[in-house]
Structure 1
Amino acid sequence: MSFQPVTTVSPAERRRVRRRLLVLLPALALLFGGLWFLNRNMAVKADVGECLKGTIADEMEIVDCGSADATFVVVGRVSDRGEQEAESVETVCGQWPEATHDYWRDQNDSKGVVLCLKPR
């Protein structure tokens, strides 16, 4: 049976590791906080009853329904649909007859969420 020698970490090395962590952890927190902030109003996160502004899919985002910018109200939400399934409002949003538009965004490269929208 062979034993490996125990290595000790010098106090100087501990201080270097601590300094690196003190810089790295806040930097990571800022990065993730910034990503959350930039994505918080993405249209695909809208729930039924929330409002969206915009008319082009890539520019749509959640807004307050009292806002003059609100152009659509989400009347339905359908998960796990492909892009082709979302091409017809009547097909994917048929259970919400007031829906005149739909918004589809993929979430895992092929399936995604469809928001059924009515004009505000």
Structure 2
Amino acid sequence: MSSGEGVFMVQDAVRPRRNRRRQRIVLVVFLVLVLGFFGFVWFATRHSASYAKVGDCVTQTGANSVKIVKCDDPSATFKVVGRVDDKTEVDASIDACDSYASQGAVSVYWQGTSGGKGMVLCLAKNR
């Protein structure tokens, strides 16, 4: 090569387009996975007692667990007549639902961290 000659190279114009396309595909797959994960978590926990509000009905699913069900479901044994947050387990067993007795509260359900605070559901028989 002489000193006045240069080397001319043609760049592959297709390569950057492929990289962008690949990045978009990876991003879309990632977003679908993230949304799928959160959708699964919501779906799996939507009947959890922690989402119960006044007017919801629940059924007992174990010695210390309940889940939300429709009030016309034959398994709906209790109706939530009150919800009290930030109570310890001891508070729940003493008087957390006293103010809901006039609404038929006959049972108390507490959910939280042992030794910490949680929420109390004041439950009346579902008629």
What is the TM-score when the length of structure 2 is the normalising length?
Answer: 0.75
- Percentage of matched positions with identical amino acids: 40
> Between Structure 1 and Structure 2, whose CA radius of gyration is higher?
2
> Which residue of structure 1 lines up, in the alignment, with residue 78 of structure 2?
72
> Which residue of structure 1 lines up, in the alignment, with residue 100 of structure 2?
96
> Which residue of structure 1 lines up, in the alignment, with residue 60 of structure 2?
54
Moved over 4 A (4+): none
In the aligned structure 2, how far is the partner of 1:57 from the partner of 1:77? 20
Structure 1 or 2: more helix by fraction? 2
Structure 2 unmatched runs, 5+: 1-15
Residue 14 of structure 1 and its aligned partner are, at CA, apart by 2.4
Q: 1:85 aligns with which of 81, 87, 91?
A: 91
Structure 1 unmatched runs, 5+: 1-9
Q: 1:105 aligns with which of 98, 108, 111?
A: 111
Q: 2:120 aligns with which of 109, 114, 117?
A: 114
8 Å contact from structure 1 (residues 76, 117) kept in 2 = yes
* Number of equivalenced pairs: 109
What is the TM-score when the length of structure 1 is the normalising length?
Answer: 0.79
In the aligned structure 1, how far is the partner of 2:44 from the partner of 2:64? 14
